[in-house]
Each structure stands twice: as C-alpha cells, then as structure tokens.
Amino acid sequence: MFLHVTMKAARLLLPAACLLWMTGCWSRVEINDRAFVSGMYVDVSEESGYEVSLGFPLSNRLSSGGSMPSGGASDGNPYAIVSKRAGSIPEAIRKIRSDLSREISWGHCRIIIVGTKMAESGVDPILEFVTREPNFHTKSYFLVAPGKGKDITELTPVFERLPSEVLREFAERKVTLDTSVKDLLEAAARGGDAAAALLTIGKVKMVSEKGKLSTWVGTDGAALFKNGKMVGTFNVQEMRAALWIDGKMKSSVISLKSPTDGKTISFLILNSKSQIKPVVSGDRIRFDIRIEAEDDVMSSESDIDLNDPEQISKIENLLSQQLKGRIMSAIQKTQQMGIDVFAFGRYIEWRYPKVWYEHQDHWRSTYKNCEFSVVTQVSVKRTGVEKNPIVRQMQRQQGGSR
C-alpha cells in the first residue's frame, strides 16, 4: 500500500516539476526591454563635474542580411550615443537611464574611453563605479582619447557596425596596449602606475562614405599613469617597446637599412616571447630582460645576398640592436619620471619578498636606480623564394636580352 502511494505521488510530481520550466523570469528584465551598453566614454565637465556618454546598438536597425527590418530607418546609424552631465558618474548614468525607454545592461560593454583631461584628473572615480557595478566586466579595455572621449563616438565604423567594436579590435589585435580595467585595479593596489593605449583622431575623406569628410580614429602611443593620474606619454616606438616587454608583440612589421647599400629591408615578426628575471646583489637591484623573436623577410629593396649566412647574421644583429635600443629608451623614460608602468616591482615581490618589504614604501625612488640588462635575439627564419629584389632581377634580364 505504501509503495503504491509513493509511485502515485511520483507520477504527480513529475508533471508538476516540468511546469516549473515553463514559468517566466519574474525577477529579471526581458531582453526586449534592455539597452545594451557597447561603450562608455567619460570626460571632465567644467560646468557640472563629469560628462558620461554611453553607446548603444539599435536592435531595430541591425540586420545580418544588410536590409533594414520593418520599423527601422534606412538612412540612420545602427547605434546611438546618449550623453549626460552631473556631479558624479553614477548620477550622470542615472540621468541617462531616466531618458531611455529600456533598462541599461552592462554585460556587453567592452570599452572605456576617457578624455585627456579626465585621465589627468584621475581615473579613480571610474574604477569606483566599475567595481561596484556587478554586471560590468573588469576585462573591458581602457583607452585614452587625445581630446575629449566623447569625440571618439563620432568615428565612422567602416569595417565594423559599432564604433566600440573598432576600438575593441585595436586592443584584441595587439596593435596597441590592451590595458583592461582589471589591470588598472591591480595597478591601483600597487600605487597606480600603469600605461594605457592612446588614440589619435582626425578628419579624412572616405571613399566608403562617398567622399564625405568623416572622422577617422587610429592608434598612437600610450598614456602613462602615476597614482591613477596621467602624467606623460609614450610615442609609438616606446609603446611598441612596451608590447615587446610584456611579450604581446604579434604580427608586426619592422624595417632597417641594409648593411650593404643602405636600402630598406622589411621584416614580418611572426612570434615573440619575453622573460624578466630580477637579481638582487646587496643593495643593487637588476632586471635581466631577454626577448626572442622570429622574423620573415617581407620585402627587400637592397642588393644584399639573402642566401649568404654571413649577411643574414649581420641583419639579425642589426635587428637585435635596434630592438634593444627601443626597449632601453622606454625603460629609461619611466625611470626618469619615477613611474613603474611595467610593474617590475611585482617580480621583486614574487622572487624576493623580504627585499620588497624593505622597498615597497619608496619603490619609485628605488626604481630610478635599478639596473637593466636587455638581451634581444632576433632570428630571420625565412627569406622567401627570391633572394634579391624581384624588380631588379627583371631589369637585369631585360638588359641582358637586348
């Protein structure tokens, strides 16, 4: 009898359990009531403190087939930018939320752009908001605009649908520094020394826009932060040296003058790796940096014989010395400014915790006097089928046939 009752109860509970999967998410916001933030742009406002701009994709104007769905304007952009000013970043965002017909969702935001004045005043207010917003990804990239961050929203996304996607690709493809919110938070715990990508902006006539004068945005050097405030910049070569030090240099092109006739030879960097080792001897702190890279010959205007091992060895030495010079230039610049944007202090903390305990309170002063030994080894792996300039070979063949 007991077994019969139990089996009957199980048969009744099974349909009831299935009905639970059919219930709605009563505590959640429906997807068609959400406004997904694709990018956040923050500036200092002289009038009221901060100006926050949020980028949103317009779902009613997005179509994979290229044609606009019904209800969408055919001549409008598939994204919108909404800006508000307030005394604090959360207050500005609250004002934006009040003007939207949908609830703001932060789950798709992958880019934060700040203007130069905002960067110079300090990024702590941004980090304060981001860390307290549970749906904000700390892996979002952080970049600095040369003027106002809001100006970057005017860029024309030729290859992408949204302006934020263009900026995100810059970081993901490693053509510039891929500093994230997480990196800035870790830097804040160490004193606020960090480096972030710096953008450049201009107006050009674009064929894709039927020759109209449009806003173009590209990559530049890097912004240097001390105590969370921008205090200087790297040029492009110094920024790329930072990529080498971090072991993030990929698919780059480097050129040099041929040792035989001074003509240009270009190389494609296929892969690279870096190794940083701290060495403490008494009161002296030294960092041994070793960087290895493999190159392919991309083009050659020189008559140099690329089939000669001796000539290849000379080229490899020139490439190695050029790379070493750029890396040392970037490191020396940070030492002069007293900012450890490469976080060399972490290596001391990991390897020599007692030494770090002695220097952590005045690490910037210690960093100025640290020694650096940089060893670079660039190997030319492939020179291509043609060992000499193709155009010159054709000229010689034509001259010989006359």
Q: Got the DSSP string for 299-331?
A: EE-S---TT-HHHHHHHHHHHHHHHHHHHHHHH
Give 180's DSSP letter. B
Q: What's phi and psi for 42, nearest 5 deg?
A: -125, 135
Give 3's DSSP letter. H
pTM: 0.83
Token pair of 139, please? 């892996």
Residue 127: pLDDT over 90: yes
Compute, in degrees rounded to 10, the torsion defined by CA atoms 244, 247, 252, 254: 30
pLDDT digits (tens, 9 = 90+) for 284-322: 999 999 999 888 888 888 888 888 889 889 999 999 999
Mean pLDDT to the nearest integer, 230-254: 89
User: Strand 103-105 vs strand 34-36: parallel, antiparallel, or unpaired?
Assistant: parallel
Q: Which of 10-19, 140-149, 197-206, 335-344 has the lowest mean pLDDT?
A: 10-19
Query: How large a percentage of the chain has pLDDT more than 90?
Result: 52
pLDDT at 389: 53
What's the one-letter identity of residue 94? R
Q: What's phi and psi for 138, nearest 5 deg?
A: -75, -10
97 or 72, greater pLDDT: 97
Contact criterion met (CB below 8 Å) for 51 and 44: yes
Residue 14: pLDDT over 80: no
pLDDT at 210: 80
The H or E element spanning position 121 is: helix 116-121
Q: pLDDT category, 157, cuts 50, 70, 90?
A: confident
Contact criterion met (CB below 8 Å) for 143 and 71: no
pLDDT at 27: 46
Token pair of 168, please? 């995100």
Q: 5: exposed, middle or buried (C-beta count within 10 Å: 0-12, 13-18, 19+)?
A: exposed
Mean pLDDT to the nearest integer, 366-387: 85
Residue 346: pLDDT over 60: yes
C-alpha Rg value of the chain to the nearest Å: 28
What's the one-letter identity of residue 231? V
**How many angstroms separate the CA atoms of 218 and 372, rounded?**
32
Token pair of 353, please? 């915790």
**Mean model confidence pLDDT for the chain:** 85
Token pair of 315, please? 């080229």
**How many angstroms separate the CA atoms of 354 and 357, rounded?**
5
Q: pLDDT category, 3, cuts 50, 70, 90?
A: very low
Mean pLDDT to the nearest integer, 31-50: 87
Residue 39: pLDDT over 50: yes
